[in-house]
Amino acid sequence: MKRSLLAVLLLYAALFSNAQQQGTLSLAVNDTGTVISRHIYGHFSEHLGRCIYDGFWVDPGMNVPKKDRIRLDVVEALKKIRIPNLRWPGGCFADEYHWRDGIGLRNNRPKMINTHWGGVTEDNSFGTHEFLELCSLLGTEPYIAGNVGSGTVEEMSKWVEYLNASGETPMTRLRKENGRDRPWKVSFWGVGNESWGCGGNMTPEYYANEYRRYATFARNYPDAPLKKIAAGANSADYNWTEVIMKNIPRHMMWGLSLHHYTIPTGKWNQKGSATAFDEKEYFNTMKNCLFMDELITRHAAIMDKYDPEKRVALVVDEWGIWTDVEPGTNPGFLYQQNSLRDALIAATTLNIFNNHADRVRMANLAQTINVLQSLILTKGSDMLLTPTYYVFDLYQPHMDAKRVPLQIETPGYTNGGQQLPAVNASASINAKGKLCITLVNIDPANDRTIQASLPGLKYKKVSGSVLTGKAFTDVNTFENKKKVAPAPFTGAQLTGQALTVTLPRLSIVQLLLD
């Protein structure tokens, strides 16, 4: 009798434990009016460390495929994930950059000191023409950040004219003298960067007036309407958003930026290692990452007060994890390794952006190569793809697809008396009716099973890919480039209108249903 009772108790305990590991996913398939803009999947390349120089733009003698000095193996890797836009030249560097220093014969271009990043000499060999040639090779839209901090209205106005005007003007003549007859017609323009800090230490009231002045003289030319983006808030500075939305008319700005970095420790002076961290620090990092959802919700609510039609986009044009630099590297170059933890951050953040696609219509991961949360790391003529790169590969089906709103009930991931949702997700349907669901299990110890109902949807098959590893500290190295790489996923079962998915611990899963 005692054995029988014990067996029953163990059975109930097992069933209860199993229930605790399960969650549910409900999809609002009849509410798919919002498009997930492909521009959410944008990137950022600043004149910082080895992002431009020794990243995109290499020594003429380097033995890699090149066009001019643009590194083509890097270009091909980024083309495979269809990057939609690329932000340049900064960042803080943008507000000390004077565009005329970067045109004309390279031997005649003046040198400068990059006072923000490492105090190195900038030879201006990579300038406007080189950047726009890079964008052409990538098949991506340029996003240029103009100099408000140390520049002038005339300087930005003439840069727009140089790039976009087609008539006979001093700037178009100069452009033609430098080898470009046709205008590039660049749409995305940032009016300054971090004007609350490195871009001028302005108050929001002062910046709003400056923006109105600069934006007035940044002209639209034939077939080249500008999408002007105001320098927005630093993380949770909700007052900045309030003042900007109150003082800049809707018709004068296409978007308002937001910058937020995930700092593992939450301390800027000691951020934490990119590779040597324990579960407590991992948990804290994921908590700081998930704060992005609250940030967007609260900034969007302020924007809704002044712009209920949601005409102004929230542009999260700097985001990602920021750790201490790799030991032995220049502290001003911001070079850090990229782990499975970083991939989980990227996937979670992209899920958040997708779910807020009614307001978030553009974003830029910082940064593309060799800086912060990079997609690509290089060492001489060698290169590798980071775990974060593979996240952007897996999430491609969401680009320009219709968002499927969802509700997820997930078990908790607990550490040190605190709890986070173990699973997050986003979903979309493309023009052909194919459903994409991306799910992230941040729990380092437990697989999680999610039950999803698909009412009204008649799919016949499900396929998938998974990105995972043995530990959240796993990284790709030049000796082992595929330690963290996607693999086919077989943990999903489709039965009629019911979908069951078992997510491995520390995993990102992409499901495609058709």
Residue 72: both structure tokens together? 């083509």
Q: How many angstroms separate the Cα of 170 from the Cα of each of 101, 158, 177?
A: 17, 9, 11
Q: Which amino acid is at 9?
A: L
Cross-strand pairs, 262: 321
Contact 192, 317 (CB under 8 A): no
CA nearest neighbour of 198 among 155, 241, 149: 149
State the DSSP H helix or E strand holding residue 320, giving kind and residue range, or none if neither. Answer: strand 313-321
Buried b / exposed e along 24-56 (16+ C-beta atoms within 10 A): ebebebeebebebbbbbbbbbbbbbbbbbbbbb
Contact 336, 326 (CB under 8 A): yes
User: Which one from 96, 122, 161, 194 is the annotated catalytic residue?
Assistant: 194
Give the three-state DSSP class for 87. strand
State the DSSP H helix or E strand holding residue 174, giving kind and residue range, or none if neither. Answer: helix 170-177
Q: What is the C-alpha to C-alpha distance for residues 227 and 268, in angstroms, rounded to an integer?
A: 33
Contact 435, 457 (CB under 8 A): yes
User: Which one from 318, 326, 409, 479 is the annotated catalytic residue?
Assistant: 318
Backbone angles phi, psi at 472, to 5 degrees: -70, -10
Radius of gyration, CA atoms only, the chain: 24
Task: Give the distance from CA 33 to its chain's centroid.
Answer: 23
Q: What is the C-alpha to C-alpha distance for residues 192 and 229, in angstroms, rounded to an integer?
A: 9
Q: Is residue 194 annotated as part of the catalytic site, yes or no? A: yes
Q: Is residue 318 annotated as part of the catalytic site, yes or no? A: yes
Contact 464, 330 (CB under 8 A): no
Q: What is the crossing angle of helices 128-138 and 72-80, to 10°?
A: 50
Q: What is the dihedral of CA 100, 104, 107, 113, to 10 degrees?
A: 20
Residue 328: both structure tokens together? 């032995």
What's the half-sphere exposure (Cβ side, CA atoms, 13 Å) at 174? 19
CA nearest neighbour of 514 among 402, 429, 435, 428: 435
- Contacts of 309 by beta carbon, 8 Å cutoff, 6+ apart: none
Residue 399: both structure tokens together? 């680009």
Q: What is the C-alpha to C-alpha distance for residues 241 and 288, in angstroms, rounded to an integer?
A: 21
Q: What is the C-alpha to C-alpha distance for residues 314 and 299, in angstroms, rounded to an integer?
A: 8
Give the residue numbers annotated as catalytic, written as ranges. Answer: 194, 318
